[in-house]
């Protein structure tokens, strides 16, 4: 059973890494709003796979900030800080 859980965990990390790389390539200031919406969706998918990854929360918050969704950006930044403080 541990090997199955380990395999699932490895697949989850691979998926998260892929989504993070894809999001970072789309999350530049010179990109149009449509691409920030796409990056928010992709970060949300990555967070669903790895909800304790503070980088994902932070980056999604930055995308939301670029879309001027400031309340949601602050909420994501708070989640990011929570995981950093707790050592995740």
Domains delineated in the chain: 2-85 (1.25.40.10)
The predicted pLDDT at position 83 comes to 82
Rounded (5°) CA angle 55-56-59: 80
The pTM score is 0.65
Across all residues in the chain, what is the average pLDDT?
Answer: 77
CB 59 within 8 A of CB 77: no
CA pair distance 60, 74, nearest whole angstrom: 10
Per-residue pLDDT averaged across 36-58, rounded?
89
CB 35 within 8 A of CB 61: no
The predicted pLDDT at position 36 comes to 84
Per-residue pLDDT averaged across 18-44, rounded?
71
């Amino acid at each position: 059973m541990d090997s199955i859980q380990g395999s699932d965990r490895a697949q989850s990390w691979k998926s998260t890494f892929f989504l993070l790389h894809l999001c970072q390539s789309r999350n530049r200031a010179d990109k149009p709003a449509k691409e920030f919406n796409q990056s928010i969706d992709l970060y949300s998918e990555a967070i669903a796979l790895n909800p304790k990854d503070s980088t994902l929360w932070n980056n999604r918050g930055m995308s939301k900030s670029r879309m001027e969704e400031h309340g949601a950006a602050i909420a994501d930044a708070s989640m990011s800080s929570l995981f950093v403080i707790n050592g995740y």
